[in-house]
Chain A
Amino acid sequence: MIEREVVVRNRAGIHARPAALIVQTASQFSSHIEFKNSHDTINAKSIMGIITLGAGYNSTITISAEGEDAAEAVDRLAQLFDNRFEEE
């Protein structure tokens, strides 16, 4: 299992559009991918799950993936966070 901590860097936090981006990216991999915050763990391939996580500006999320392409999946997802989901 591969884990990485990421920080939400866009001002608006994870709303519908970033969530869709995350799900689209996560769905390209066969690995089981999860997002964790302090109290919940949700499946990264579920858009409602990610939105209900309620990740606001500067909150920390742990991405964890398990499967053949786990490393690449975590890389690509972390990249989305680093690029602020192409937002401000």
Chain B
Amino acid sequence: MLDLLDLDLKKHNDLELRCIGARHGLLRRITMPDLNRPGLALSGFFENFGVQRIQIFGRGEQAFLEKLAVEENTATIKEFFRQDIPCCVFTHGLTPTEEFIRLADEADVPVLQTTLDTSEFVMRVIRALANVFAARQTIHGTLIEVFGIGILILGDSGVGKSEAALELIERGHRLVADDAVEIRRIAGNILLGQGVNPALGHHMEIRGLGIINITHLFGVGSIREKKQIQLICQLEVWDSKKAYDRIGAEERTWDILEVATPYLEIPVKPGRNIPIIIETAAMNERLKKMGYYSAREFNQTVMRWLDSENARKAYLQKKGIT
């Protein structure tokens, strides 16, 4: 659908679109995030014509349309509108000929106009379409921003995701979404998470309390609309037979929408304070981003120490002291 007009884009992304003809055609669907310059089609060549794409009319196409109008030649335009086109966009604030709008009206193909120049509009619309058409997935989990790191908490129902998140919020971190997180892959490898239904706001369900409103209870400082997912924490009930990572020198990842994301498995049992563990994991993740790997550095220190210890022993032996 042409939700494109409604897209809430900030100033530098604004498409500055205005509908100037065939308004009811706005219900048409855009099925692919591609654009087409219809120059060849207008001159009568329809082979391999990108039908389902948004048709962009720049100064060149406009000049050609005006030439056709002078010649009173509407055959190719009629043929053009016989195709199943989602919409036509005129850049540079150009206004198409009356004949063109009349034919568009007949074919129910909406005609839009933007004040942007062609290359700028193309850049912006491709960015916007890429976001709309981005791969998406809904995941059962809680997304929270801890020390600037977007952490997705996963785990079975009742393992304590929401409770852990609640304590993190209490400690000044920010909730993005609880229970159902919609994840979109943008710009190739960035996973952006947000609540499934932004209209419902930031609520959580805590067993024993019911549904609570985080914004009202903890203030607007405790929520965030969306956040990139940078770390996944899988909470699971402590399994005494399972070997958990004790060193953390090797990095494990988990694929969401084919993007490998750092992944931690955190066993839960009474007496383990999960929020503090998650907080520490977030800080550790930040250290890693700065190039400092606690576990690896520690291991290197141990190895250096062993080396020097060996050297000392060898030296002492040589001197015959031991």
A contact set with B: CB distance below 8 Å:
16, 27, 40-43, 45-49, 51-54
Contacts and interface: CB of A to CB of B under 8 A. Distances in A.
A54 B197 contact: yes
Nearest to A51: B200
Interface of B: 138, 140, 157-158, 178-180, 182, 195-197, 200, 203-205, 211
Given A40-B196, A47-B205, A16 B211 contact: yes
Given A47-B211, A52-B197, A54-B197, A42 B178 contact: no
Given A43-B180, A48-B205, A53-B196, 11 more contacts: A16-B211, A27-B158, A40-B180, A43-B179, A45-B157, A47-B179, A47-B205, A47-B211, A51-B200, A52-B195, A53-B180
Contacts, number: 48
Nearest to A34: B140
23 contacts: A27-B157, A27-B158, A40-B180, A40-B182, A41-B138, A43-B140, A43-B179, A45-B157, A45-B158, A46-B140, A46-B157, A46-B205, A47-B211, A48-B178, A48-B179, A48-B204, A48-B205, A49-B140, A51-B200, A52-B180, A52-B195, A52-B197, A54-B197
- 4 closest cross-chain pairs (CB), A and B: A48-B179, A45-B157, A43-B140, A49-B180
A53 to B, nearest CB: 8
A40 B205 contact: no
B180 A46 contact: yes
B197 A42 contact: no
Contacts of B211: 16, 47-48
Nearest to B199: A54
Centre residue among A27, A43, A48, A54 by max chain B CB count within 10 A = A48
A4 to B, nearest CB: 20
Contacts of B203: 48
A42 B138 CA distance: 7
A48 B157 contact: no
A42 B140 contact: yes
Contacts of B195: 52
A28 to B, nearest CB: 12
A12 to B, nearest CB: 16
Contacts of A52: 179-180, 195-197, 200
Contact of A48 (B138, B158, B180, B182): B180
Nearest to A46: B179
